[in-house]
Structure 1
Amino acid sequence: MTTVMVEDLEPGSADAGVPAHFGDPMREQRLLETGVGLVDRSNREVIAVPGAERASWLHTLTTQHLSTLSANQGSELLVLSPNGHVEQHAYVTEDGTTAWLDTEPGAGAGLLKYLETMRFFTRVEPRDATAELAVLSLVGPDAAGLFPDLAAPQVGAVPGPRFAAGSVPARATSLYAVRAFQGGLARRVPLGVDLLVPRSGKDAIIEQLGVRRAGLWAYEAVRVAHRIPRLGWETDHRTIPAEIELMAPGVHLDKGCYRGQETVARVHNLGRPPRRQVLLHLDGVATDHPPARGTAVELDGRAVGFVGTAVRHHELGMVALAVLKRNVPDDARLTVGESAAAIDV
């Protein structure tokens, strides 16, 4: 089996260190959408938060309702700036003694630094655990069958503006079932099952699972088709939660104060975020190369947004997640570099 690494194709990529594909990216996409494939995502960074007060402490620092998160449960959280801009996004996995936070490549140091500055006298001991645990993902409709004891993910709907106080359940807005696995943890998520496994035993666990491999390119194509954003790809320094598809899984709108909450509440009550995340179809006539992250999306020659992740999907063709100004019409004739673009409504 041919293994092509991300850095071989994209020197300097933040996703370096994991396979991009194994010789046939389109076949690997189909595998992830019709069966199950194993994707090495060990470039993700992991922060461990042990300590008796970890749940209440993380509850006060982040957008998620975590004070009631119990052993063998997972969720998602955001850390915001004082002005409500998205600074961090992480999955949290609780095993009963430690909350494990896994986040994007390159984001771990910033998340850990923030947590360390907010410790004060709280009984928590956050540390960088990237060298301890690696993330593997079993993706596809058949992934759940490999872990039938893990309940399906629960993600609540975002309530409407000016909802009644107390109408949002006092628990995490996304709940992912977790159990022990091979010295680590298995976590059921919308795309399948994530495994947090000992990094030293990663290769042996991959071989033992015996699941067909797929590269990160295939994973990214599936993620884009499901409109799941990534921190640093579909976000910039101005992004607020209401602009991207992280509100439902990552933001509890009826909990105690946290940094940036005023902006979240104000924008939600007004119902008018300045931008929105969309899926774009690109014609691919002038070029068959997906545009680079950050490429401007233009309307009549002026920039109205930017491309986050662009991929070539085995059924949809060339598509991209993009963030556009809210007032861009759904039927606008857009351009991205040399390609014409249309919003998928």
Structure 2
Amino acid sequence: MTSPFADRDGAVGDPPEHYGDPIGEQRPLAAGTAIVDLSDRDVVSLTGPDRLRLVDSLTSQSLAGLAPGDSAETLLLDPSGRIEYAARVLDDGEVAWLLMDAGTGAGFAAFLDRMRFMLQVVVADRSGEFATVGTFGDAPAATAAPNGVPLVWVDPWGVVQAGGFQYAAGTHPADGWSYREALVERERLPELAGLPAAGTLALEALRIAAWRPRAATELDGTSLPHEFDWLRSAVHLAKGCYRGQETVAKVHNLGHPPRRLVMLHLDGSDGVLPAAGDEVRLGRPDSEGAAVGRVTAAAWHHELGPVALAILKRSADPASELTVVVDDVLVPAAQQVIVPPDAGATADVPRIPRLGAVRR
């Protein structure tokens, strides 16, 4: 289904990645005067009195008490604590709406439907009926409100949520983060196509600068929430049992995540940006250092220049310079620590003397 935004002058991509100025489009988007078309994303609905109970029992966030109009974020983990799905959650008093990255809604909906058992819940993939629009300002007038509550999801990333935990030290770049997503009936999407708009590349640059993880870019088959500082917004450490909860607790209280998210400030001399999956090596380009991670997302930011998010081995020295391999170009990079190597091990567990050890 072609987006009406793709028919605008200068539009590149569907939904548009940009309209001719991917860097210049970031300022009006960040100021809340432009919207971004995210109509390729998925939407799942849960209807029935047990809708919140179902998703609360299976995922990482405490959702049972979500009030109409409130927003949350949650993760579905496998039994080993690895992330399978990430969902942005909004309830309107009658229906729980799950806003999801493109290509993930059908799988999550199928899983929830299998797990209903005797609960009174109807799960449906509504991606063909509703489109997602992103903004840092007011939601558009065409925002859907089928049950009297506007379907506007407000991103919780800006503040550590109740029951959450932040590994990043110091002032967080997401302070003041006002991003939100609105659902619009697809038949009304053309009404928005004349509004000031920015492309998805502009949103991606702002997201990277805010250290904001996203399922479509950061995750692989082994990802743990701790590695991305996702306990900040998507995990409630004091809620009841859910799938993968034991691993979440063990890593947070007793262990350390095996990898850690960093932001890379890239040398822009060669005018190239890495792609997702590009290798990150230890040391400068002439050092032939060992591979320590991979890029997950990169962008040209209107103030910071070329930046990227990357997932590195925990053992990689936070003070070390790095090199990103972009095709045949070696790009120097300085890392900004998001998740520190000592993240986790928060429980104050007294050390037990070794058997036979002599105390002095």
1:275, distance to aligned residue in structure 2 (A): 0.9
Matched, 1:193 2:180: yes
**Which letter maps to 2:249?**
A
Contact map agreement 1:3 1:19 (CA 8 A) in 2: no
Aligned amino acid, residue 216 of structure 1: T
Once the two structures are superposed, the pairs formed by residues 191-270 of structure 1 within 5 Å of their partners are 191-207=178-194, 210=195, 212-270=196-254
- Structure 1 residues 159 and 226: CA distance shift in structure 2, 3 A: closer
**Counterpart code for 2:76:** V
Which residue does the alignment assign to 1:341? Answer: 333
User: Alpha carbons of 1:152 and 1:233: their partners in 2 closer, same or farther (altered >3 Å)?
Assistant: closer
Q: Please give the per-residue CA displacement for 1:267-314, whole angstroms capped at 9, x wherever unaligned.
A: 0002511111110011123x3221111111111532211101111112
Aligned length: 301
- Give yes or no for contact 1:304–1:324 (8 Å, CA) kept in 2: yes
How far apart are 1:190 and its partner, in Å?
Answer: 3.8
**Contact 2:155–2:178, Cα closer than 8 Å, also in 1:** no
Give the TM-score normalised by the residue count of structure 1.
0.81
Shift of 1:106: 1.0
Match of 1:137 among 134, 143, 157: 134
2:161 aligned with 1:156: yes
Distance 1:152 1:251 in 2: 14
Once residues 32 and 267 of structure 1 are traced to their aligned partners in structure 2, the CA distance between those partners, rounded to angstroms, is: 37
Q: Which residue pairs with 2:293 in the alignment?
A: 305
Q: Does 1:315 align with 2:303?
A: yes
Q: Measured at CA, do residues 90 and 152 of structure 1 come closer, stay the same or move farther in structure 2, by a change above 3 Å?
A: closer
Q: 2:12 aligns with which of 5, 17, 22?
A: 5
In the other structure, the counterpart of 2:279 is 296
Which shifted more, 22-31 or 213-222?
Answer: 22-31
1:95 to 2:82 alignment: no
Equivalent position SS for 2:25 = helix
1:124 corresponds to? 121
Aligned residues of 1:220 and 1:311 also touching (Cα < 8 A) = yes
How far the C-alpha of 1:2 sits from its partner, in A, is 2.5
Check conservation: 2:71, 2:155, Cα contact below 8 A: no
CA distance in 2, matches of 1:251, 1:309: 23
Question: What is the CA distance between 1:248 and its match in structure 2?
Answer: 1.3
Q: What are the Cα deviations for residues 204-227 of structure 1, in whole angstroms up to 9, with x where unaligned?
A: 1444xx4x1111111111111111
Pairwise CA RMSD of aligned residues? 2.5
SS at match of 1:126: strand
State whether residues 48 and 101 of structure 1, in contact with CA within 8 Å, keep that contact through their aligned partners in structure 2.
yes
* Cα separation, 2, equivalents of 1:22 and 1:56: 42
Q: Is the 8 A contact 2:155 2:179 kept in 1?
A: no
Structure 2 runs not aligned, ≥5 long? 1-7, 144-149, 168-175, 283-287, 338-360
Structure 1: 5+ residue runs without aligned partners? 7-16, 162-188
Tell me what 1:168 maps to: none
Aligned residue for 1:30, secondary structure, equals helix
Q: Aligned partners of 2:132 and 2:57: how far apart in 1?
A: 26
Distance 2:232 2:294 in 1: 23
1:326 equivalent in structure 2: 314
SS in 1 for 2:216: coil
Whole-angstrom distance in 1 between the partners of 2:17 and 2:155: 28
1:159 deviation in Å?
4.2
Task: Name whichever structure is richer in strand by fraction.
Answer: 1
Paired amino acid for 1:310: A
Alpha-carbon distance in structure 1 between the residues aligned to 2:222 and 2:303? 33
Q: Distance in 2 between matches of 1:191 and 1:160?
A: 19
Query: Partner amino acid for 2:48?
Result: G
2:344 alignment partner in structure 1: none
With 124-133 and 22-31 compared, the bigger mean Cα shift is at 22-31
Q: Sort the Cα spacing of 1:71 and 1:256 in 2 relative to 1 into closer, same or farther, 3 A.
A: same
SS in structure 1 at match of 2:71? strand
Q: Deviations over 1:164-198 (max 9, x none)?
A: xxxxxxxxxxxxxxxxxxxxxxxxx9433321110
Q: Aligned with 1:281: secondary structure?
A: strand
Greater shift after overlay, 76-85 or 189-198? 189-198
1:171 aligned partner: none
Amino acid at match of 2:185: P
How has the CA–CA distance of structure 1 residues 155 and 199 changed in structure 2, closer, same or farther, with 3 Å as cutoff? farther
CA gap 1:69/1:21 in 2 versus in 1, 3 angstroms: same
Distance in 2, matches of 1:83 and 1:106, equals 23
Same amino acid, percent of matched pairs: 42
Structure 1 runs (4+) greater than 6 angstroms displaced: 144-147, 149-152
Q: Distance in 2 between matches of 1:108 and 1:123?
A: 20
